[in-house]
Amino acid sequence: MSTSTKTITDQGKTAVRWKIFFVLLVLVAINYIDRASLSVAMPLISKDFDIDPAIQGLLFSSFFWTYALMQVPGGMLADRFKPRIVITVAAVCWGACQAIAGLCTNGTTLLLTRFGLGAAEAPIYPSGGKLNRIWMTRHERGRGATLLDGGAPLGAALGALLIASLIGAFGSWRIAFAIAGVGTVLAGLFAWYFIRNDPREHPGVNEAEALYIERAHEIEAAEEPTEVSGRRLDLFKYRSVWLMCAGYMCANIVFYGLLTWMPNYLSKVHGFNIQQMGGASFIIFGSGFVGELVGGFLSDKWKTAGGSPNKVMRTLLGFAAIIVTAAVFSVAYSTGPVLTVVLLSITLFFQRWTGLYWSIPSLIGTRDKVGLLGGLMNLGGNIGGVLVPLAVGIIVQLTGSYFLAMMVFAGAGVGLLLCSICIDFGNKIPV
């Protein structure tokens, strides 16, 4: 390293990469505010449209049908057209769908807007995973991944309060949906203003930060396989790809099951009104947000101290999966509302350590496949999103109880454990 280069590197670096991921955190939070709005408003919508639990489950699930189907195309779009434009277009489109949902007059039209919302939101995570590869060094990607994914519990927490407050203030779930949609469109336009596809393109990045990122990537690139097939289908030859998708599916069964059905569960089983439900949801999902940041911090700290990717990821994800399984299993036997909120908060705190899964595409994939791997992983994850709302709706309708639903979540926790400890986080897939 030359003296002049060393001087540049030792200067105070700007921190634009962290600001980029703060913007992504906000965008994903808005994403989940829009998703959670249906769950919060469902007690009112079900009365307006006269729909039973099975149909409610269908409406909850419908978002994930198009969301899951568009994951791989979304990842390919991020790889080809770059994340900035993909994120902006996605946010504007899903904001429009959210606002239009306020005009629906029956379950069928509401179903169609949920299809549109799912398709439009699909590219956000794969694009964020791509930005994680572009902007972050290998020792920062744990925090980058959990900042990206941390918007999920943060949005669920804020969404419960925000949508409940808007409904209370205006006496209408329709107005609440319209306000949320307009806010999303404005956030999408801000994303275009601030996000860039390369550190050198951003006016706020100084030379020290640009060189810091570039040198870290040069070292990483030197360790990537030199012979690659280039065939996308070859990814499926590798066990870690399948385990990554299955593990994220198990994680999402727990999270999306609680996201879609927890407000109804608290209302029906523990008698919460809409204000109490909003407050409890804020505490529970807020715990998930804190847990997400803790998981990312521990991961990067341990890796910086010399921990191997396999030791760090398997230990943190395995431990989290054990706690999630035990806590959500205990919810099934809880009779008091306070204890139930505590147990659900513990569940979400550790479940959100699975935000570390968003660093896996960068850990196991070459740079040109990160978006595709992120799309595949989120496709697997959202198959769980498709199935679990329907399954819980049918279980509740047939049994009149949420007990078996909690057992489904506990089983998913076991699956998360097995998948997470079997992924090889230390080797790049040579395709």
Number of domains in the chain: 1
Question: What average pLDDT does this structure show over 104-120?
Answer: 90
Q: Considering the domain boundaries, does residue 278 fall inside one?
A: yes
Residue whose C-alpha is closest to residue 125's, from 80, 177, 72: 72
Say which amino acid occupies 220.
Answer: E
Residue 2 pLDDT more than 50?
no
What contacts 285, CB < 8 A, 6 or more positions away? Answer: 153, 154, 156, 157, 160, 348
Residue 199 pLDDT more than 60?
yes
Given this model, what pLDDT does residue 232 score? 63
CATH number at 242 reads: 1.20.1250.20
Q: Considering the domain boundaries, does residue 129 fall inside one?
A: yes
Residue 9 pLDDT more than 60?
no
Given this model, what pLDDT does residue 7 score? 43
Given this model, what pLDDT does residue 10 score? 47
Arithmetic mean of pLDDT over the chain: 86
What's 398's DSSP letter?
H
| Strongest mean pLDDT among 40-54, 75-89, 140-154, 177-191 | 177-191
Residue 3 pLDDT more than 70?
no
Output the CA–CA distances (angstroms, integers) from residue 312 to 297, 354, 414, in the order listed.
Answer: 12, 13, 19
Given this model, what pLDDT does residue 230 score? 55
* Least confident span in 3-7, 197-201, 414-418: 3-7
Q: CA-CA distance, 116 to 118, in Å (whole number)?
A: 5
Question: What average pLDDT does this structure show over 332-356?
Answer: 91
Confidence of residue 217 (pLDDT cuts 50, 70, 90): confident
Given this model, what pLDDT does residue 366 score? 72
Question: What average pLDDT does this structure show over 222-233?
Answer: 61
Q: Considering the domain boundaries, does residue 274 fall inside one?
A: yes
Burial of 373 from C-beta contacts in 10 A (0-12 / 13-18 / 19+): buried
Q: CA-CA distance, 206 to 193, in Å (whole number)?
A: 18
Q: Considering the domain boundaries, does residue 77 fall inside one?
A: yes
Q: Do 45 and 109 contact (CB within 8 A), yes or no?
A: no
Q: Considering the domain boundaries, does residue 298 fall inside one?
A: yes
Given this model, what pLDDT does residue 233 score? 67
Q: Considering the domain boundaries, does residue 1 fall inside one?
A: no
Place of tokens 């550190």: 199
Question: What average pLDDT does this structure show over 357-381?
Answer: 81
Q: Considering the domain boundaries, does residue 4 fall inside one?
A: no
Q: Considering the domain boundaries, does residue 265 fall inside one?
A: yes
Domain with 394, as residue range(s), is 14-420
b (16+ CB within 10 A) / e for 278-308: bebbbebbbbbbbbbbbbbebbbebbeeebe
